[in-house]
Amino acid sequence: MFKYNYQKAVSREELQKIQSDVQKAYLTLITKQGAGNDFLGWLKWPFEYDKEEYTRIKAAAKKIQSDSECLVVIGIGGSYLGAKAVLSALSSYFDKGNKKVEIIFAGCNLSANYQYELLEYLRNKEFSINVISKSGTTTEPAIAFNFLKNLLIEKYGEAEANQRIYATTDKARGALKGEANQKGYQTFVIPDDIGGRYSVFTAVGLLPIAAAGYDIDELMQGARDSSLAAYSKPYLDNPALLYAATRKVLLDKQKNVEILVTYEPKLSFISEWWKQLFGESEGKDQKGIFPASLVYSTDLHSMGQFVQEGARIMSETVLKVSSSEYDLMLKATKENADGLNYLAGKTLTYVCEQATEGTILAHLDGGVPNAEIEISKIDEYHLGYLLYFFMFSCGVYCYLLGVNPFNQPGVESYKKNMFALLGKPGYEELQKELLARKGN
């Protein structure tokens, strides 16, 4: 089950008013007429994925399970957030000792502490590497790969190390592809027409998820069903179109921040993935809603005050899960020393539901429009459904806003400066200019 409920955020009339604009944006997306239309391979990918490669992904996952305690997944942005989101959502909070393979992410920061501690942690572990980079040239993963590959070679020798490296990258271009060809790494392709943040259903997401032991068939089935719904349902019954439309109505009312809220900490990386998807897709040409995320009730004790009474710039979308895998019942005690006897016989899920309802009503009173996305449970199928829903909706919404959902020109600015400051050949002029600005 998958539901989107806009009623506490915008009115049906407001949505009807922009129906033709939404319809136009939807057609622009599915007929591939808009800006960035050479990056729409993800639209039909859940149906038209490379079946031969899919079989290889499953085989590689099995091999990794048979010879590795850990798989280090190296990537940044769209090259790691999808797998991280799905794995965080599906994993137990505490290690039950039943993990097929421990998935560890690297190359998504430049922390020397992280890199050092990871190398130390892996020293006595059997491990493999899945290095993921579409361009094959991104600095953060390239540096992490450099360190980790050296450790792998130190442990296993070059020939075996090369068998333990899986490269997910462009089919022909980039330094990583060149190295993979030269060393004989097994490679998986990020298709030309699928950008990083839309790539979770390619090998980018599938190999780490399958290696961890989760069911990628179900994930893909969820994406297919979500795609069918997005393509075929009429406007007022179509969650992907309604979510896009609701965001546009809210933005037009100066709700410039959208907070994706979850009461399930396991879903916090779904929010991180969502922030990248929307932030990088819509945040350009001085436009867009700033995507933020909070985990309740934890953050009600830190950010709740602002949401309730601070600047009235935000809306909330609550990501609800209607069933919990486990539940616990509160019991009465003789002394009632903690004053909780009034909850005797109630479950923790019930308490959480009342917290959710109470918070929504309070925030509505505080002028925060509130929408809800509901999935019946956290499993591969519903996560596949949810992620595809967000991607489709993001495409429609960005066309509604008039921006290209598939480029990220702004990301280059920091890279240029970093290269110049690091003294990368070709950046000499910029280096001089930046050093002068720094006062050197």
User: Does the active-site annotation cover 301?
Assistant: yes
Where do runs of H (alpha helix) occur along 212-313? Answer: 216-232, 239-252, 268-282, 304-309
Stretch that binds ligand PA5, among 35-43, 83-91, 134-142, 231-239 (CB under 6 A): 134-142
- Ramachandran angles phi, psi of 73, nearest 5°: -100, 115
Task: Give me the amino acid identity at 261.
Answer: V
Catalytic hit among 287, 415, 416, 432: 415
User: Pick from 28, 52, 58: which is nearest to 40 by CA?
Assistant: 28
Which residue's structure tokens are 């004989």? Answer: 184
Near ligand PA5 in 223-282, by CB under 6 A: 280
Stretch that binds ligand PA5, among 3-11, 37-45, 111-119, 127-135 (CB under 6 A): 127-135
CB 15 within 8 A of CB 249: yes
Near ligand PA5 in 279-308, by CB under 6 A: 280
Q: Least Å distance between CB 396 and ligand PA5?
A: 18
Task: Give me the amino acid identity at 294.
Answer: L
Q: Least Å distance between CB 79 and ligand PA5?
A: 4
Q: Which is nearer to ligand PA5, 78 or 205 (CB)?
A: 78
Q: Least Å distance between CB 188 and ligand PA5?
A: 13
Q: Which residue is nearest to ligand PA5 (CB)?
A: 196
List the structure tokens of 224: 């297919």
168: enclosing H helix or E strand: strand 165-169
How far is CA 411 from its chain centroid? 18
Task: Give me the amino acid identity at 191.
Answer: P
Q: Which is nearer to ligand PA5, 87 or 132 (CB)?
A: 132
Long-range contacts of 295-301 (CB under 8 A, 24+ apart): 295/261, 295/262, 295/263, 295/265, 295/267, 295/268, 295/271, 296/261, 296/262, 296/263, 296/355, 296/356, 296/359, 297/263, 297/352, 297/355, 297/359, 298/265, 300/359
Near ligand PA5 in 62-121, by CB under 6 A: 76-79
Catalytic hit among 301, 335, 429, 438: 301
Give the Cα separation of 394 and 248 in Å (integer): 11
Q: Binder to ligand PA5 among 28, 130, 133, 293 (CB under 6 A)? A: 133
Q: Least Å distance between CB 26 and ligand PA5?
A: 22
438: enclosing H helix or E strand: helix 428-438
Q: Binder to ligand PA5 among 134, 224, 247, 266 (CB under 6 A)? A: 134
Near ligand PA5 in 343-372, by CB under 6 A: none
Q: Which is nearer to ligand PA5, 135 or 349 (CB)?
A: 135
Q: Which is nearer to ligand PA5, 76 or 401 (CB)?
A: 76
Catalytic hit among 280, 282, 372, 380: 280
Q: Which is nearer to ligand PA5, 130 or 133 (CB)?
A: 133
User: Does the active-site annotation cover 382?
Assistant: no
Q: Least Å distance between CB 379 and ligand PA5?
A: 26
24: enclosing H helix or E strand: helix 19-30
Binding mask 395-414 for ligand PA5 (x = CB under 6 A): -------------x------
User: Pick from 432, 422, 430: which is nearest to 139 by CA?
Assistant: 422
In terms of Cβ atoms closer than 10 Å to its own Cβ (0-12, 13-18, 19+), residue 86 is buried
Q: Least Å distance between CB 38 and ligand PA5?
A: 14
**CA distances in angstroms from 186 to 61, 139, 194, 304, listed in the order given:** 12, 22, 20, 48
Q: Is 315 in the site for ligand PA5 (CB under 6 A)?
A: no
Q: Binder to ligand PA5 among 34, 82, 196, 208 (CB under 6 A)? A: 196
The site for ligand PA5 (CB under 6 A) is made up of: 76-79, 133-135, 138, 141, 195-197, 280, 408
Residues labelled catalytic: 280, 301, 415
